[in-house]
Amino acid sequence: MKSRSKTDVSFDTVAEMFRKTELGDAKAVEPLGAGEFNTVLAVTTEDGKRYALKVAPSDESRVLTYERGMMRAEVYWYSVMRGRTDIPVPDVLYSDFSREILPADWFVMSLIEGVHPGAEKGEDAERLADRLAVMAASMHKVRGDAFGYVQGKRFGCWHDAVRSMTEDLIADGKRKGVRSRRGEKLLAYIDKYADVLNEAECRMVNYDIWMPNIIVSQENGEKKYWWIDPERCFFGDRMADFVCLEFFKPFREKTLSFAAYNRVADAPVSATRGEEIRWAVMTAYMGLLQEVEKHYRYTPLMFGWWRNVVSSALVYRAGFKVLKGGK
């Protein structure tokens, strides 16, 4: 999809990058995937092997505060998932944050051949919801020692972290001449529910469990679910990942996800009022993110702009409906 954040990368630049990796000489390059932030390319080398090359935005004036240095968090997340969970993720084969070849971070990973869920005929929605919740539960077993974005500021409690994250997005909007009144409303709710938010344990969170970030491959006649594009990861409240699981369903109706999650989780989700409030805060935060993000990535002539307008309105409404109800 078109996005103003993406870096243009020529074939000559790709060839230079691959000479540095020593993975082989680049022979062919083609766009890969439908990502909206980074430039992602499929690179074929002279020996016929195929790799995925990912390049971060080179103009940091076109990214949100939390997105600065975000690619480093992605490489870190892959390393943690490979070392501490059984979640299938690509191998990171080479990463370069020196910005010597071009003014952007980049890395090369194994290219996973497969399809996104829904692209296969007869994709079983219940089976998929089950699998994604199990993957989230496995990831949530990874604990952190401070709350916040991996590449950003870290805090001793979840209230302080999510408040800072919200303040940053509000400030990002102001840099574009936009005041987010709904963001300011969310900030008030964050302070109102500070004690509830601070019940959260510090866990690894993905916060981007969308179908384009899952690849389904076939292995020995069985489906294998790969997780990609974890740029939004942070250490925080695991309720944040239930925003995307069974997206648009009210928290208490995510029964498929709860059942699957609790089969493997080290701490079950019981759909308590406190958990619902914490989910609602991160649902409204998603609304703020989408509201502000469109001013950086798109123009009103792009599909992404209007998709974000509609989606942010819906998730704001879902979050605020819960939060206005009190404890």
Please give the structure tokens belonging to residue 320. 């605020």
Is 256 a residue whose pLDDT tops 90? Answer: yes
Average pLDDT over residues 107-134: 84
Q: What is the mean pLDDT of the chain?
A: 93
- Which residues, including other chains, have CB under 8 Å from residue 143's CB and lie 6 or more apart? 201, 202, 203, 204
Q: What are phi and psi of 306, to 5 degrees?
A: -75, -30
Helix (H) or strand (E) holding 76: helix 70-84
Please tell me whether residue 105 adopts helix, strand or coil conformation: coil
> Of 190, 231, 202, 248, which is closest to residue 77 (Cα–Cα)?
231
**DSSP tag of 111:** P
* Sign, Cα dihedral of 186, 190, 192, 197: positive
Helix axes 303-323, 273-297, angle to 10 degrees: 160
Cα separation, 70 vs 100, in Å, equals 18
Q: What is the pLDDT of residue 260?
A: 97
> Of 28, 54, 50, which is closest to residue 41 (Cα–Cα)?
54
Q: What is the pLDDT of residue 119?
A: 54
Please tell me whether residue 219 adopts helix, strand or coil conformation: strand
Helix (H) or strand (E) holding 127: helix 125-139
CA distances from 25 to 43, 46, 47, 102, 137 (A): 10, 6, 8, 18, 40
Q: What is the pLDDT of residues 267-293, one digit of tens each?
A: 999 999 999 999 999 999 999 999 999
Cα separation, 239 vs 284, in Å, equals 13
Cα separation, 42 vs 46, in Å, equals 13
Is 327 a residue whose pLDDT tops 80? Answer: no
Q: What is the 3-state secondary structure (H, E, C) of 3-33?
A: CCCCCCCCHHHHHHHHHHHCCCCEEEEEECC
Please give the structure tokens belonging to residue 216. 């389904």
| Domains of the chain and any CATH numbers | 11-110 (3.30.200.20), 125-323 (3.90.1200.10)
Q: What is the pLDDT of residue 211?
A: 87
Please give the structure tokens belonging to residue 164. 């800072």
For residue 309, count other CB atoms closer than 10 A to its CB. 13
Q: What is the pLDDT of residues 183-230, one digit of tens each?
A: 999 999 999 999 999 999 999 999 999 888 999 998 888 889 999 999
Q: What is the pLDDT of residue 126?
A: 84
Please give the structure tokens belonging to residue 130. 């089950």
Is 101 a residue whose pLDDT tops 90? Answer: yes
CA angle, corner 14, sides to 13 and 15, nearest 5? Answer: 90
- In contact, 293 and 4? CB cutoff 8 Å: no
